[in-house]
Every structure is written in structure tokens, then in C-alpha cells.
């Protein structure tokens, strides 16, 4: 989701964090025999890597709806007492991840809106609660409220704005997610049932969305026609679980059933589960899910994320075999690729960089010097492994180049003789508009520098990226199954007015 308010945009420019886009996690449960809030809590825990900024859970029991959300990690927002207070057999839950410019509890999800014909035309929520505040709300039995959670981003909201303005809803302070929930609620106030309201609004939602929407008595899942962000379904004790990634299923004992298809609308209520393909699908999962986002123990498009990452390393070993003494990964994401590379070439693999696992989000700290300090407090080299060695260091991607530059410096300071920087993906040359947090194009190092210039900037002995073809081959899937926009600048879903922000090389 993104914030489209003018104030927000000013702030973004000030801190040069680029657009407010995010990779988030969504999670939902339906089951009369299930403790849905507690399951959501554990589901969000398993999906914490997809968002660490805010967290929230909403439940419904057929009559009323409750929500609690706040800034911070799942463990900071919820405690046992809060979880125990939730009532209901349906839940939707969310972890949010965004740039600093968008850090506000007003963006925390689930987002509620009044869907009943009689009631309020705007959300229940105070649009300006203070930072670090948490919000707890519940709806009355007649409110007909709906709650929405969103993973993805709508680069253009012109159509939604027009739809809401025509109904006298002021959209000035609304994010894309807020617009979606208000538009669906507006149709419901016009007497349309939830699934039909979603279908009506669907053509207005231009961009990436894996959505879960809960009414008092049903849970609905829907994905954009390209399925840019993942969404999977599992079974649990006669009920159903839906999550951004399959890694959320095994910790709660749920059994993976299938992926929700691009363009599919799935409804779960007291009559069971029914599904409808509401538009012609054009499957294009974001390949960056394999490169960076997803947890290694998840499956995407039927492929193990760990195995694909390992293949990235094996492929790079074919493309660029380096004579080295040791291969080390930048933890965590690059570990599997570094193992694949080291094994393919018979070079020793070591965890030569230690990560402080309690530090988060150096990538999106707005000011550069803070970001640089962040890298140091996150990663420390182990001198005994590095000193006097020809080192191959693996990272999953280079975005701004800040992390890699710091790492190269650290490794030389730790006594490395050579530092070969290998990247398990091609150069990121284009900004993302579908829910990844990337900076503006001018801040993407590969958009402004050649590989030789990047090597020089990093101070590395050599620098090599995985080829684009090699990346695709390593997935074992055809190229046309993927959105590759950050590498190719090909945007499969219209990015509207944002297209003018992109310079094609
Ligand atoms: P940079 O210093 O900007 O080049 O950041 C590159 C590092 O950020 C790599 O180690 C990646 O693992 C990580 N990374 C890549 N994409 C993202 C993202 N969207 N959010 C957070 N971290 C990322």
C-alpha cells in the first residue's frame, strides 16, 4: 500500500526514500473450531520478515468485529492478554513494511470501513493517532463493517479516487489500501453483498494486490490478474488459512492446499469455500520474491525458495568461477546462493560475517550516514576466517550499494587479500511500483553506474552479477511467468502517471 496524501509526498522527497511502497504480509483464518487470533499471531510471527513496521489483527464472530494494531514488531504490538480478548471465528492480520516517510499508525492494517447501508460514510479510525500509538476498536452488531489487509501497491489510484469522489468521499488523506476498503464499503452501502462489491471495484484497482477482506461472517481473498505478490491457501482442523507465504502454515499445523490464482476471488463462509476466476489471469509473480523477500522455507509457484537461491549460486559458478580460498554469504538471504556457488567450485564455505539478528531495516533508514552506521551494527566480520584469504562474498542483490560498500571495506579491514563481490541477481536498474520498498531510480546504483564503475565505488577486487538469463534458468520456470520489472523496466500492470519517473536505458 502507499500513501498518496500530498503531505506524505513532501516528506518523501525530503528524506529521499523514494516512493512509499511496501512488501507486507497478509494472513487470514476462517474456522469455527479455531482460536483465530492466536493463530494469526503465530502466522504474523512467521511472516515478520515481510514487514516490521506495524502489525495488526482483526477478528469477527458473525456479529461484531474487533481490531488491534500498532507500530512495531508482532511481539511489541501483541501480548497474551490482548490475544485472549479477541473473539470470533474469522480473522485477518497484517505486518506492514514501508519507508520511513510512511511510518504512521494511520497506515497500519487491518483497515476498517463501515459497509452497512445505514452507517458512517467514512472510516472509524482517527487518521492522525500519534506515532507508536496503538489502536483498538470494535464495531457494533449493526455496523456491517469490513476489514481489509493488503500486500502490494497500486501505482495509480486515479480510477478509485474518481469512484470515491463521485460518492462524496474525501480521498485527500487516503492511502491506496484505504481507497480500496472505502470503495468496497461504498458499494456495500449501496446494497451490494461483499463479493459482488469487490467485483465491482476490482477493475478500478490498478496495480499489485493480494487482499484479504473480512465481513462479520465471511472471509474473501482476491489477487490482481498477474498475481504479482504471492498468496496461498491451507487447511486446518476443518477450517481454512490464507497467507502471503507458505512458511506461515507449518508453525500452526496447517496443511498447504494450493496457491490462490491470479484474478481469483475466493469466498469462505458458513457454506464453505467457493471460488471464481473473475478476470483472465496473466500470471507474473515478482521474481524478487525468489531473490530477496520470501523466506527460504517457503514454496513459490511450487518451487522451494531455498533450492532456487541455491541454483542462483550454482549458475553463477558456471558464469564466473573465481579462484578463491573461502566463500562467505551476507546473511541471511544470500546463504543458499553462497552454498551453491561454493559447492559447485569446491571452495570452502564459511559464515564469515555474523549478523546481529536483533537489528532490523538498515535498508530503509532515511539518512545515508545512519544507514551506513546501521550496516556496521548489523554485520561483523570474523577475522580468523577472512585474514590473509582471497574471499568471495555473496549478497542477494545490490540496491543503493551502501551495504556492499561497507562490507567490502570491513572485509579488507579484517585482512582479506582479495574481495570478490558476487550478486545472486542481475543489476536492479528500475524502481518497483508493486509493493517492494525500492528507492527512486536515481538512487539505484545500477541505474547510474556501469558494473566497472560500481566495482570501483565498492572498492572490490571484482564484482559480478548473475546474468538475467541465468536467474530465469535457475528458477526452472519460464520467463513469462514472472514480473521482472526491477531488472528489465517491463511493468506488466499499467503504472499510470508513475511511468514518467522511469528512464529506460
Ligand atoms: P543497498 O545497500 O541499498 O545496496 O542494499 C542491499 C541490501 O539490501 C542487500 O543486502 C539486500 O539483501 C537488501 N535488500 C534488497 N532489497 C531490499 C528491500 N526491498 N528491502 C530491504 N532490504 C533489501
Q: What is the atom index within ligand 1 of the atom nearest the CA of 371? A: 2
Which residue is closest in CA terms to ligand 1's atom 18?
A: 437
Q: Do 133 and 65 fall into the same domain? A: yes
Residue 436's pLDDT is 86
Q: Which CATH number belongs to the domain containing residue 404 in this structure?
A: 3.40.50.2020
The reply to whether 3 falls in a domain is no
The reply to whether 288 falls in a domain is no
Report the helix count and the strand count for the chain, using DSSP H and E: 17, 25
Phi/psi for 220 (5° steps) reads -120, 135
- Structural domain of 30: 13-283
Task: Give the lowest-confidence range in 119-123, 164-168, 171-175, 251-255.
Answer: 119-123
**How many structural domains comprise the chain?**
2
Per-residue pLDDT band for 363 (boundaries 50, 70, 90) equals very low
For residue 402, give Cα distances in angstroms to 90, 236, 412, 457. Answer: 43, 43, 16, 10
Q: Do 148 and 69 fall into the same domain? A: yes
The reply to whether 351 falls in a domain is yes
Say if residues 194 and 217 touch (Cβ distance below 8 Å).
Answer: no
Q: Do 265 and 344 fall into the same domain? A: no
Q: Do 312 and 259 fall into the same domain? A: no
The reply to whether 298 falls in a domain is no
Residue 5, pLDDT above cutoff 70: no
Q: From the CB of 379, is ligand 1 less than 6 Å away?
A: no
Task: Indicate the length of the chain as a whole number.
Answer: 505
Across the range 482-490, mean pLDDT stands at 98
Mean of per-residue pLDDT scores for the chain: 88
- What distance in angstroms lies between residue 438's CA and the mean position of ligand 1's atoms? 8
Q: From the CB of 421, is ligand 1 less than 6 Å away?
A: no
Across the range 146-152, mean pLDDT stands at 96
Q: Do 330 and 422 fall into the same domain? A: yes
Report the residue among 53, 97, 363, 375 best suited for mutation to probe ligand 1: largest number of ligand atoms under 8 A from its CB: 363
Residue 63's pLDDT is 87
- pTM of the predicted protein model: 0.91
Q: From the CB of 396, is ligand 1 less than 6 Å away?
A: yes
Q: Do 220 and 138 fall into the same domain? A: yes
Q: Do 334 and 217 fall into the same domain? A: no
Q: Do 159 and 117 fall into the same domain? A: yes
Task: Give the lowest-confidence range in 74-83, 116-125, 254-263, 398-407.
Answer: 116-125
Q: From the CB of 399, is ligand 1 less than 6 Å away?
A: yes
Q: What is the atom index within ligand 1 of the atom nearest the CA of 396? A: 12
Residue 487's pLDDT is 98
- What distance in angstroms lies between residue 437's CA and the mean position of ligand 1's atoms? 9
The reply to whether 225 falls in a domain is yes
- What distance in angstroms lies between residue 119's CA and the mean position of ligand 1's atoms? 44
How many C-beta neighbours within 10 Å does residue 426 have?
22
Per-residue pLDDT band for 107 (boundaries 50, 70, 90) equals confident
Q: Which residues are annotated as a binding site for Mg(2+)?
A: 333, 395-396
Per-residue pLDDT band for 129 (boundaries 50, 70, 90) equals very low
Across the range 11-32, mean pLDDT stands at 61
Q: Do 185 and 324 fall into the same domain? A: no
CA distance 236 to 93: 17
The reply to whether 188 falls in a domain is yes
Residue 357's pLDDT is 75
Per-residue pLDDT band for 243 (boundaries 50, 70, 90) equals very high
Q: Do 252 and 310 fall into the same domain? A: no
Say if residues 343 and 318 touch (Cβ distance below 8 Å).
Answer: no
CA distance 452 to 183: 49
Which residue is closest in CA terms to ligand 1's atom 11?
A: 397
The reply to whether 496 falls in a domain is no
Q: Do 26 and 171 fall into the same domain? A: yes
Across the range 23-48, mean pLDDT stands at 96
Say if residues 26 and 1 touch (Cβ distance below 8 Å).
Answer: no
- What distance in angstroms lies between residue 15's CA and the mean position of ligand 1's atoms? 18
**24 catalytic residue (yes or no):** yes
The reply to whether 485 falls in a domain is no
Q: Do 278 and 331 fall into the same domain? A: no
Please say which residue of 252, 283, 314 terminates a domain.
283
Report the residue among 292, 364, 441 best suited for mutation to probe ligand 1: largest number of ligand atoms under 8 A from its CB: 292
**Which residue did the predictor score with more confidence, 375 or 318?**
318
Q: From the CB of 180, is ligand 1 less than 6 Å away?
A: no
Residue 145's pLDDT is 86
Q: Which CATH number belongs to the domain containing residue 187 in this structure?
A: 3.60.20.10
Cβ-Cβ contacts under 8 Å for 137 (sequence gap 6 or more)? 66, 67, 68, 112, 124, 125
Task: Give the lowest-confidence range in 31-45, 258-272, 424-438.
Answer: 424-438
Amino acid at each position: 500500500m502507499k500513501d498518496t496524501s500530498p503531505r506524505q509526498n513532501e516528506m518523501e522527497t525530503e528524506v529521499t526514500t523514494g516512493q512509499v511502497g511496501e512488501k507486507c504480509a497478509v494472513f487470514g483464518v476462517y474456522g469455527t473450531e479455531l482460536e483465530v487470533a492466536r493463530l494469526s499471531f503465530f502466522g504474523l510471527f512467521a511472516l515478520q520478515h515481510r514487514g516490521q513496521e506495524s502489525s495488526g489483527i482483526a477478528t469477527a464472530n458473525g456479529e461484531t468485529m474487533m481490531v488491534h494494531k500498532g507500530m512495531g514488531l508482532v511481539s511489541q504490538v501483541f501480548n497474551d492478554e490482548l490475544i485472549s480478548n479477541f473473539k470470533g471465528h474469522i480473522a485477518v492480520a497484517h505486518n506492514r513494511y514501508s519507508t520511513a516517510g510512511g511510518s504512521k499508525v494511520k497506515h497500519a492494517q487491518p483497515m476498517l470501513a463501515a459497509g452497512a447501508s445505514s452507517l458512517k460514510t467514512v472510516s472509524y479510525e482517527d487518521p492522525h493517532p500519534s506515532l507508536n500509538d496503538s489502536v483498538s476498536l470494535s464495531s457494533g452488531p449493526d455496523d456491517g463493517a469490513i476489514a481489509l489487509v493488503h500486500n502490494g501497491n497500486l501505482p495509480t489510484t486515479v480510477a478509485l479516487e474518481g469512484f470515491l469522489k463521485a460518492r462524496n468521499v474525501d480521498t485527500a488523506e487516503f492511502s491506496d489500501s484505504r481507497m480500496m476498503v472505502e470503495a468496497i464499503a461504498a458499494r456495500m452501502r449501496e446494497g451490494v453483498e461483499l463479493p459482488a462489491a469487490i467485483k465491482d471495484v476490482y477493475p478500478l484497482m490498478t496495480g499489485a494486490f493480494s487482499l484479504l477482506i473480512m465481513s462479520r461472517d465471511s472471509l474473501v481473498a482476491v489477487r490482481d490478474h498477474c498475481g504479482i505478490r504471492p498468496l496461498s491457501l491451507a487447511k486446518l482442523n476443518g477450517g481454512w488459512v490464507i497467507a502471503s507465504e507458505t512458511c506461515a502454515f507449518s508453525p500452526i499445523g496447517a496443511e498447504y492446499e494450493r496457491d490462490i490464482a491470479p484474478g481469483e476471488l475466493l469466498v469462505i463462509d458458513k457454506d464453505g469455500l467457493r471460488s471464481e476466476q473473475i478476470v483472465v489471469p496473466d500470471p507474473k509473480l515478482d521474481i524478487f520474491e525468489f531473490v530477496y523477500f520470501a523466506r527460504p522455507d517457503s514454496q513459490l509457484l511450487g518451487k522451494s525458495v531455498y533450492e532456487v537461491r541455491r541454483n542462483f549460486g550454482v549458475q553463477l559458478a558456471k558464469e564466473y568461477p573465481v579462484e578463491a580460498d573461502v566463500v562467505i554469504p551476507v546473511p541471511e538471504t544470500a546463504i543458499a546462493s553462497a552454498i551453491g556457488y561454493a559447492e559447485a567450485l569446491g571452495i570452502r564455505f564459511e559464515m564469515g560475517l555474523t549478523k546481529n539478528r536483533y537489528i532490523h531495516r538498515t535498508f530503509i533508514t532515511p539518512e545515508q550516514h545512519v544507514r551506513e552506521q546501521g550496516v556496521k551494527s548489523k554485520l561483523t566480520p570474523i577475522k580468523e576466517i577472512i585474514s590473509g584469504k582471497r574471499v568471495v562474498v555473496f549478497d542477494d542483490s545490490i540496491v543503493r550499494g551502501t551495504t556492499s560498500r561497507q562490507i567490502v571495506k570491513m572485509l579488507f579491514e579484517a585482512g582479506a587479500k582479495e574481495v570478490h563481490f558476487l550478486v545472486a541477481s542481475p543489476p536492479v536498474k528500475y524502481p518497483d511500483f508493486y509493493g517492494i520498498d525500492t528507492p527512486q531510480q536515481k538512487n539505484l546504483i545500477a541505474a547510474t553506474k556501469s558494473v566497472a564503475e560500481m566495482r570501483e565505488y565498492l572498492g572490490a577486487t571484482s564484482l559480478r552479477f548473475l546474468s538475467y538469463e541465468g536467474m530465469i534458468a535457475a528458477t526452472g520456470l519460464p520467463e513469462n511467468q514472472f514480473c521482472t520489472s526491477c531488472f528489465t523496466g517491463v511493468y506488466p500492470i499499467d503504472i499510470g502517471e508513475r511511468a514518467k519517473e522511469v528512464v529506460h536505458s
